[in-house]
Amino acid sequence: MAEEEPEPVEIDPNVLELEEIAAATLLIEGERAAIVAEYEAVGTAFSSELAALKAAEATAAAPAAVCELGAKFSALQMKSCVARDFHLERLEPLDKALVLQAEKKAAVEAKIEAARLAAEAEEE
């Protein structure tokens, strides 16, 4: 006696699309989190380098040493600005992609809600 095959379960394409959007969003968020972690590490490094320079400044007595520290302060500020801009430029396309995924999700959810309302209206 042959076994009966179960009826195939129909999967709503909108639900599949929502799952694809959720998966893409997770990938983007993971990428973004890695960049944010790098950016935070840059901030920590900046703080420690700044503290070291401030300590050296407190003990510097000679005008030449103070001038040299001024150049180091300037270099540190420039490096931190470049690092900040670099990381923010890397985050910008990811943030835009997250907004796009949120818009796609809202559109699919609106289609699902419209289909649900249409089904309810047919039942009445």
If one compares 4 and 54, the residue with the highest pLDDT of the two is 54
d(CA 75, CA 69): 10
Residues 6+ apart with CB under 8 A from 39: 83, 84, 87, 88, 91
Q: Please provide the DSSP assignment of 53-78 as one string.
A: HHHHHHH--SHHHHHHHHHHHHHHHH
d(CA 98, CA 36): 15
Task: Find the farthest-apart pair of alpha carbons in the chain and give their distance in angstroms, rounded.
Answer: 100
Determine the average pLDDT of the residues in 103-120.
Answer: 94
Is the per-residue pLDDT at 7 higher than 80? Answer: no
Is the per-residue pLDDT at 9 higher than 60? Answer: yes
> What pLDDT does 2 receive?
56
Indicate the domain borders of the chain: 15-123
pLDDT tens digits along 44-90: 999 999 999 999 999 988 899 999 999 999 999 999 999 999 999 99
pLDDT tens digits along 15-54: 899 999 999 999 999 999 999 999 999 999 999 999 999 9
> What pLDDT does 114 receive?
93
Say if residues 46 and 80 touch (Cβ distance below 8 Å).
yes
Is the per-residue pLDDT at 6 higher than 90? Answer: no
Residues 6+ apart with CB under 8 A from 91: 32, 35, 36, 39
> What pLDDT does 124 receive?
74
Residues 6+ apart with CB under 8 A from 41: none
